[in-house]
C-alpha cells in the first residue's frame, strides 16, 4: 500500500500543476496550439479562415512543428474592444495557445494587442493597419502587414509619375484605418502642391444612398482631377456608385481595403471600371509560394484571394517557423524567435525591424492595381506590372483640362 503522506503529497503536486496549466494544454500532447483572433462578420473573414486552414494543412503535411501537429483555434472578437480582450483570454487561458495571430479591424486590434501584451503572449497581427499598433512599445506584438500610413507609398509614386494631379478630394470612413490613410494622403497633397478641393469623413455604419448624396454635395461644386477614398468593401461599393454619379470625370483611387476584393468588381459593375487602388499583394509578385497559394486557393474555393488571404496564409507560416526555432515553448522564447525571423513567404519577405517610430514591424513594397475589363491588373511598380495604366475614357486628365 502507498504511504498515506506520500500519496497525499503526490496528489497535491498534480493538483498544483493543473492550476498552473491552461485548461486546454493537456488535451492533446501531440499538438501545438496557435490561436487566431478572428471576426466572423469581417468582409474577408471567410477568405482568411480558408487561408489559415490551407497553411495549417501545408505545415502539418511537411511534418508539423517540433515533430508535432499544429492546431489552429479561432476566437471571435466581434470587431469590438471587449470582444478582442475576451478572445485573447479565451485562446491563452482556456485553449492553451502558445502564440496568437490575426487581428482584422483597426478599430479594436490595438486593444486586443494590449491585452496580449499584458498576458505576455506573442501576437502576430496580420491585417489591422492602425499605425499605433506597432508604435506603443508593446514588446509582445509584431505586425506582418504594413501600417496604414505605408499602404499608399506605391500609389503616391504612381500618381506623381503617371497621373500628375493638380487637385484631389479625399473621402474616408472615420475609423483609425480610414483616418490614418486620409491623413497620409493629405500630407502627400500638401508636399506636392496638389490642391485639396474637399475632405469628407463619413460613418461607415450610416452608409446608404441618401447619406452619401447628402454628405458628398461639395463634389458637385467642383470636380477634382482625382478622388481618393479609404473604405471597406460594402461602404466602398456604395460610395463609388454615388461619386460616379456626382463627379463623372474624376479619376477614382482607392486606398486598398475594400477596393481590392474581387466582390468589389461585381458590386460596382461599370462604376468601378478604370478605378485604381493601392494594393499589398498579388500572385504576380512571384514571392516564394505566392503563385502556388493563389492557384491552390482558386482551385479549392473557386474564387481568387487578395492580400488579406495571403496575409493570413503567411502569418501561419511565420508562426510555425518561430515556434520551430524557439528554444522552448515558453512565450519569451517564441517572442525571441519572432524577433529573429528572416524568411520569404507568399506575402513577401518577413523581417521585423524598427523604423520611423515603429517597432517589430514588417515592411513591404505596395502595389497599384487597376480594374480593367472587370478584373484587377497590376500596373505599378513597373517591374511587377502585368499591363500599363489604361486612362479611363471618362477621365478628365489634368492635361485635357488645360
Is 338:124 a contact under the CB 8 Å cutoff?
A: yes
Rounded CA Rg of the chain: 23
142, 181: one domain: no
Number of domains in the chain: 2
Per-residue cell: 28: 492533446
Whole-prediction pTM value?
0.83
pLDDT digit string, tens, across residues 217-226? 999 888 899 9
- Domain membership flag for residue 3: no
pLDDT band at 262 (very low <50, low <70, confident <90, very high): confident
pLDDT band at 400 (very low <50, low <70, confident <90, very high): low
Q: In which residue are the cell numbers 490613410 written?
A: 181
- Domain membership flag for residue 1: no
Q: Residues near 381 by Cβ (< 8 Å), separated by ≥ 6?
A: 154, 157, 365, 367, 368
Please name every residue paired with 101 in a beta bridge, in sequence order, or none if there are none. 36, 124
Based on the number of CB atoms within 10 Å of its own CB, is 15 exposed (0-12), middle (13-18) or buried (19 or more)? exposed
95, 25: one domain: yes
Is 63:73 a contact under the CB 8 Å cutoff?
A: no
Q: Residues near 102 by Cβ (< 8 Å), separated by ≥ 6?
A: 36, 37, 38, 48, 125, 126, 127, 312, 315
Please name every residue paired with 351 in a beta bridge, in sequence order, or none if there are none. 342
| Residues constituting the chain | 402
- The pLDDT, as a whole number, for residue 29 is 66
The DSSP symbol for 94 reads I
- Domain membership flag for residue 304: yes
- Domain membership flag for residue 42: yes
Q: Which domain holds residue 228?
A: 152-279+372-401
The torsion angles phi and psi of 376, rounded to 5 degrees, stand at -85, 140
d(CA 341, CA 320) in angstroms, rounded, equals 11
Ranges of H-type helices in 90-175: 106-119, 153-158
Is 169:147 a contact under the CB 8 Å cutoff?
A: no
272, 314: one domain: no
pLDDT greater at residue 367 or residue 21: 367
Distance of CA 177 to the CA centre of its chain: 10
d(CA 73, CA 85) in angstroms, rounded, equals 16
The DSSP symbol for 383 reads G
CA-based max dimension of the chain: 101
17, 137: one domain: yes
176, 272: one domain: yes
253, 382: one domain: yes
* Cβ atoms within 10 Å, residue 399: 8
Q: Are strands 31-38 and 195-202 parallel, antiparallel or unpaired?
A: unpaired
pLDDT band at 397 (very low <50, low <70, confident <90, very high): low
161, 254: one domain: yes
- Domain membership flag for residue 216: yes
32, 130: one domain: yes
159, 215: one domain: yes
- pLDDT above 70 as % of the chain: 91
241, 308: one domain: no
pLDDT digit string, tens, across residues 283-328? 988 899 999 999 999 999 999 999 999 999 999 999 999 999 999 9
Task: Indicate which CATH number applies to the domain containing 62.
Answer: 3.40.50.2300
165, 59: one domain: no
141, 160: one domain: no
Q: In which residue are the cell numbers 494590449 written?
A: 114
pLDDT band at 106 (very low <50, low <70, confident <90, very high): confident
Per-residue cell: 324: 520551430
d(CA 25, CA 48) in angstroms, rounded, equals 25
Amino acid at each position: 500500500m502507498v504511504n498515506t503522506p506520500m500519496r497525499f503529497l503526490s496528489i497535491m503536486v498534480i493538483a498544483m500543476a493543473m492550476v498552473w496549466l491552461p485548461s486546454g494544454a493537456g488535451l492533446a500532447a501531440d499538438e501545438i496550439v496557435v490561436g487566431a483572433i478572428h471576426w466572423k462578420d469581417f468582409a474577408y473573414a471567410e477568405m482568411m479562415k480558408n487561408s489559415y486552414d490551407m497553411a495549417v494543412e501545408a505545415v502539418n503535411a511537411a511534418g508539423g512543428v517540433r515533430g508535432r501537429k499544429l492546431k489552429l483555434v479561432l476566437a471571435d472578437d466581434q470587431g469590438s474592444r471587449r470582444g478582442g480582450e475576451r478572445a485573447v483570454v479565451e485562446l491563452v487561458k482556456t485553449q492553451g495557445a502558445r502564440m496568437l495571430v490575426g487581428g482584422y479591424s483597426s478599430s479594436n486590434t490595438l486593444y486586443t494587442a494590449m491585452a496580449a501584451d499584458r498576458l505576455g503572449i506573442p501576437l502576430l497581427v496580420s491585417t489591422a493597419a492602425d499605425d499605433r499598433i506597432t508604435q506603443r512599445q508593446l514588446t509582445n506584438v509584431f505586425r506582418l502587414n504594413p501600417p496604414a500610413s505605408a499602404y499608399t507609398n506605391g500609389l503616391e509614386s504612381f500618381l506623381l509619375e503617371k497621373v500628375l494631379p493638380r487637385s484631389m478630394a479625399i473621402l474616408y470612413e472615420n475609423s483609425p484605418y480610414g483616418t490614418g490613410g486620409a491623413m497620409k494622403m493629405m500630407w502627400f497633397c500638401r508636399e506636392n502642391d496638389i490642391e485639396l478641393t474637399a475632405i469628407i469623413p463619413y460613418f461607415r455604419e450610416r452608409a446608404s444612398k441618401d447619406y452619401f448624396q447628402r454628405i458628398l454635395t461639395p463634389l458637385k461644386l467642383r470636380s477634382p482631377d482625382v478622388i481618393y477614398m479609404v473604405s471597406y468593401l460594402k461602404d466602398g461599393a456604395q460610395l463609388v456608385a454615388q461619386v460616379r454619379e456626382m463627379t463623372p470625370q474624376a479619376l477614382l483611387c482607392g486606398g486598398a481595403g475594400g477596393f481590392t476584393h474581387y466582390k468589389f468588381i461585381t458590386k460596382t459593375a461599370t462604376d468601378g471600371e478604370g478605378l485604381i487602388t493601392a494594393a499589398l499583394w498579388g500572385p504576380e509578385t512571384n514571392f516564394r509560394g505566392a503563385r502556388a497559394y493563389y492557384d491552390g486557393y482558386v482551385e479549392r474555393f473557386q474564387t481568387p484571394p487578395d492580400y488579406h488571404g495571403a496575409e493570413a496564409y503567411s502569418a501561419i507560416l511565420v508562426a510555425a517557423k518561430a515556434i520551430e526555432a524557439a528554444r522552448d515553448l515558453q512565450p519569451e522564447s517564441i517572442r525571441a524567435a519572432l524577433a529573429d525571423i528572416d524568411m520569404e513567404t507568399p506575402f513577401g519577405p518577413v523581417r521585423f525591424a524598427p523604423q520611423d517610430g515603429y517597432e517589430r514591424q514588417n515592411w513591404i513594397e505596395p502595389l497599384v492595381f487597376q480594374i480593367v475589363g472587370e478584373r484587377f491588373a497590376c500596373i505599378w511598380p513597373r517591374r511587377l506590372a502585368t499591363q500599363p495604366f489604361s486612362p479611363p475614357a471618362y477621365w478628365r486628365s489634368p492635361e485635357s483640362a488645360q
